[in-house]
Amino acid sequence: MSVFDYDLFVIGGGSGGVRAARIAASEGGAHVGLAEEYRLGGTCVIRGCVPKKLMVFASEFPQMVRDARAYGWDIAPPVANWDAFQTNLKAELDRLEAAYRATLKGVDVQVYPQRARLVDAHRVALDDGQIITAAHILVATGGRPFVPDIEGAELGVTSNEVFHLSAVPKRVLVVGGGFIASEFASIFNGLGAVVTLAYRGDAILRGFDREATAHVASAMQARGVTVLTGCDVTKLQKTATGVQALFATDVGLEADLVLFATGRVPNSQDLGLEALGVGLGAGGEVLVDGFSQTSIPSIFAVGDVTDRVSLTPVAIREGHAFADTIFLGKSRQMDYENIPSAIFTQPEMGTVGLTEEQAIKRGDIAIYSTQFRPMRSMFAGQDEKVLFKLVVCATSDKVLGCHIVGPQAGEMIQLVAIAVKMGATKAQFDSTVAVHPTMSEELVTLRKPTRILPKSQ
Ligand code: NDP
């Protein structure tokens, strides 16, 4: 008989917390409790990946209708019914939240719909005053949008609010140049808004392969998004007809919606972590070792609150590795090498492994890069090109990275990532027979390097 109420108490019912709770309970036989102050499913399900992807789908239909006409379909101009989409979106999120709840119930995880704070290494206080004891505590509280401290910032919204708009705004200003900014600029553009993206740096999607991000940026612009680089938004003010954004270098512009997509910060405040002496980093992230253990041995943390790699599948794997290690006796660390990801811009970008800029610092490389107009959209009269790029080690022939821009790039990169993760060589890519006619056959038919580059100092 344990001296604790629970073997594991999880704070946060998002991707990482729920996976850890489920595995600990169902496979590790642990008695598990979980506190969630908002909705089960966390950022990904409730106000992130899932509703975002559904909005991406919604925003792609006008282009599909235009394409359909080129294929001989006689279709009247489409009319969007935003209310119908919102109703269906809400129903889908409710369904997913219910599925999360059912999963936890099915493995006897007790859910507390309240905020929880740490009292000491083994005690948690709930908002209703209950004190719960646990042998292990997992902090999986995620992150939240960061908004720059500028005058009038409250006139803008963040990704928390953007899914609940009563109508599609006519003019949208997106501030930022990362994942969320680029994705929402594309979404609103697809939905028919006049979109401006204002980014303070010189090229959007910093940190990704420069050739690929330049391709995305110019394609987004060709589709109608105005991308302003080197553009700092310094102030927002209300006008009779919208919100005026002032830029550091000029008068700025007026929009109906200003979306701040200026990064996210870990949800580590007001949890009792500082008082307990749990180590926090400069950005408030919970510091953990490879086993997601904090400086207090009974307290662990996974997911965005640790600010390692802020992606849903990473949080899930961190939670799973934690549960395996502690409750199944399978000591396991998350492997952060070659994590693939997709940015659901229009066009989409999929990426795995090293960028050209990263690889060249490590050794001599060969770049295989091709751009072409894919069959489906070329037939419909579009000029947009897809990009397929392989970054290859010139000495070992190993494929170090792959970057794809084009329709279904996210789907494609998942499959290429298996080969890259296995350490496949360019020769092994070449020995694979092409699937014809597809776009992705280019990955196995890139015969000659576009350029061979010596290691940069
Ligand atoms: P990102 O870190 O991707 O981008 C933040 C952007 O905001 C950057 O362009 C940054 O500029 C800019 N910025 C930061 N501070 C300021 C400031 N004070 N003023 C003006 N601009 C500023 O964050 P996101 O919020 O877009 O996304 C958060 C995380 O969520 C991502 O890192 C990703 O891990 C995850 N995510 C993943 C998605 C996917 O997998 N498809 C989709 C959405 C989110 P600078 O480059 O100069 O620093």
- 15 near 92, Cβ under 8 Å? no
User: Do 258 and 283 belong to one domain?
Assistant: no
Tell me, yes or no, whether 125 and 160 share the same domain. Answer: no
Confirm whether 215 is a catalytic residue.
no
In a domain? residue 168: yes
Predicted TM-score (pTM) of this structure: 0.97
Intervals of the chain under pLDDT 70: 1
CA of 174 to the centre of ligand 1 (A): 12
Q: Are residues 193 and 230 in the same domain?
A: yes
Give pLDDT, residue 1. 67
Q: What is the pLDDT of residue 250?
A: 79
Asked if residue 109 and residue 56 are part of one domain, the reply reads yes
In this structure, are 376 and 243 located in the same domain? no
Looking at the fold, whether 138 and 271 belong to one and the same domain comes out as yes
Kind and range of the H or E element at 255? strand 253-255
Q: Which domain holds residue 60?
A: 6-144+265-327
Ligand 1 pocket (Cβ < 6 Å) reads 148, 176-181, 183, 199-201, 206, 261-264, 310-311, 341-344
Strand (E) or helix (H) holding 54: helix 49-70
Q: Supply 439's token pair.
A: 């776009």
CATH number, position 374: 3.30.390.30
Considering the domain architecture, whether residues 55 and 118 belong to the same structural domain is answered as: yes
Does one domain contain both 273 and 252?
no
**Are residue 312 and residue 384 in the same domain, yes or no?**
no
Q: Whose CA is nearest to atom 24 of ligand 1?
A: 263
Residue-level pLDDT at 251: 80
Same domain as 437, residue 346 = yes
H/E segment holding residue 389: strand 386-393
Q: What's the pLDDT tens digit per position in 7-60?
A: 999 999 999 999 999 999 999 999 999 999 999 999 999 999 999 999 999 999
Is 193 in the same domain as 160? yes
In this predicted structure, what is the pLDDT of residue 361? 98
CA of 252 to the centre of ligand 1 (A): 22
* CA-proximal residue: ligand 1, atom 7 (nearest): 262
DSSP 106-167: HTTPEEE-S-EEEEETTEEEETTS-EEEEEEEEE---EEE-----BTGGGSB-TTTGGG-SS
- Round to whole Å and give the CA distance between 420 and 418: 6
Task: Please give the biggest Cα pair distance in the chain.
Answer: 72
Regarding whether 382 and 352 lie in a shared domain, the answer is yes
Into how many domains does the chain fold?
3
